[in-house]
Structure 1
């Protein structure tokens, strides 16, 4: 019996991290000449009101302080985004649309299940027996297509834009995740936002650090290595120019093994 339990655990652990990365055809095209600019002001209100930073620059969300009225606002924002026709947007406007929608959906998922210690505790398999998280469940309907969080990330944004920086913009409500940005993404700021998100993460200890002589990287670089580089040597070469001078000097010529870590604890503001 124990053998079969282990097999089941292994299976669900694999399916939680293995992604087909198959593009969804309904979102394959755009309107290059579109001047449509979406209104993300309700989502910006949430960020302004409930996003906080610690002394080291890591973001935390005050889930426990969200009022029923504010939750209704968030729900209305997401419902408005469901009515958007992404193929009618410019590619860069659509890219910002998906990032904002993903992050807003993630906050909603946590709020709907709150209190929780980790997002992985939400919607686990077999009534929570297996803590696989909420990513596979269909959450919204856009252009007639039902979408989960995984669909947005792995079947739309990753294959369509082929931009590794997306991993620093999509927030999964965990302490190990890159920051939830305090500004909504727009066509005019997305390049700056993505560059800043990357720089902030790799210069924080949860992204890149040395533990003695051991190089420790976020598990994000392990899970999605193919998005960043061909191998670990090339990954280090990618990261090195983007970190501070002290860390860069240690990365250059590093020949040791890489240890990968990730903290799935909820990215929640500490309650008094």
Structure 2
């Protein structure tokens, strides 16, 4: 009976998963373009340098190998970011701030729960992953990962490439970038991430007349526009896709992006 209940709950979670809408949290839509403040992301970069490895079309994280001191360094980095008032930063600084915060929090959640097969196993009994859990406090406001992605990053910047920047610790996700985002490299990293994902099988796989896209393009269709807009977006980074037409299939691999 217990096994049947767990199976039912698992199927329920998978079948009812739906991506949140982009809904602006107006409080965060303020910046200071005249600031001289610069956020230091070196601790996050040190973690990436030490534990993120490229393998085939993926970047994989060596969760098993993270030392106790580096786990603490990661928590220190998150605490440092949470002590900053992002409203005092420029828009360019803010974008890097929120992307790095999202990605570092995700890695921290996996490390706290490790070993785990998928991020979808985190969260409460009736949860599909940890995205609705309050995981950080900024300006005395409790934030979830969904708040950062869907109430701040997506509605403020309205750039579909953000989906290639935030990482959900899964093989189906656009790769966690090997470089921390900064105010000066975000555009380069976004272009690099988009090109890499769209030219990978997990982004777009064409087999004869069959076209399988990442479920990202289905979940967040409103961000990519009409089918014609989406095809133009894909073809920008992979020109041969300009001739795509017809119905697409969608797929996503929630397996942990772990280097074993």
- Quickly name the TM-score band, shorter chain normalised: over 0.9
1:20 and 1:242, CA in 2 relative to 1: closer, same or farther beyond 3 A? Answer: closer
Asked if 1:53 is matched to 2:49, the reply is no
The answer as to whether partners of 1:117 and 1:265 remain within 8 angstroms in 2 is yes
Distance 1:20 1:58 in 2: 27
Q: TM-score, structure 2 length as denominator?
A: 0.92
Distance 2:223 2:231 in 1: 13
> Match of 2:243, SS?
coil
Residue 197 of structure 1: how far off its partner (Å) = 0.7
> Match of 1:133, SS?
coil
Point out 4+ residue stretches in structure 1 off by more than 3 angstroms. 5-14
1:257 corresponds in structure 2 to 247
2:83 corresponds in structure 1 to 83
1:33 corresponds in structure 2 to 34
Residue 131 of structure 1: how far off its partner (Å) = 5.4
1:103 corresponds in structure 2 to 103
1:23 corresponds in structure 2 to 24
1:69 and 1:8, CA in 2 relative to 1: closer, same or farther beyond 3 A? Answer: closer
Number of positions where the alignment pairs a residue of Structure 1 with one of Structure 2: 255
The answer as to whether partners of 2:172 and 2:202 remain within 8 angstroms in 1 is yes
Distance 1:185 1:257 in 2: 35
2:221 corresponds in structure 1 to 225
Residue 6 of structure 1: how far off its partner (Å) = 7.3
Residue 35 of structure 1: how far off its partner (Å) = 2.1
Cα RMSD after superposing both structures: 2.0
Distance 1:234 1:22 in 2: 22
Distance 1:143 1:29 in 2: 13
The answer as to whether partners of 1:214 and 1:256 remain within 8 angstroms in 2 is no
Q: TM-score, structure 1 length as denominator?
A: 0.88
The answer as to whether partners of 1:13 and 1:132 remain within 8 angstroms in 2 is no
Which whole-Å deviations, capped at 9, do the CAs of 1:41-73 have from their partners, x for residues lacking one?
11011000000001x341000000001111011
Residue 228 of structure 1: how far off its partner (Å) = 1.0
Counterparts of 1:170-209 in structure 2, within 5 Å, are 170-209=166-205
1:146 corresponds in structure 2 to 142
1:38 and 1:12, CA in 2 relative to 1: closer, same or farther beyond 3 A? Answer: same
Residue 21 of structure 1: how far off its partner (Å) = 2.5
Q: Which runs of 5+ in 2 are unaligned?
A: none
The answer as to whether partners of 2:13 and 2:128 remain within 8 angstroms in 1 is no
Distance 2:22 2:233 in 1: 23
Residue 26 of structure 1: how far off its partner (Å) = 2.2
Counterparts of 1:124-143 in structure 2, within 5 Å, are 125-126=124-125, 130=126, 132-143=128-139
Which whole-Å deviations, capped at 9, do the CAs of 1:18-47 have from their partners, x for residues lacking one?
424322222110001112110111101100
Distance 1:218 1:192 in 2: 22
> Match of 2:115, SS?
coil
Of 195, 206, 211, the match for 1:210: 206
Q: Which runs of 5+ in 1 are unaligned?
A: none
The answer as to whether partners of 1:83 and 1:142 remain within 8 angstroms in 2 is yes
1:24 and 1:75, CA in 2 relative to 1: closer, same or farther beyond 3 A? Answer: same
> Match of 1:205, SS?
coil
Asked if 1:269 is matched to 2:259, the reply is yes
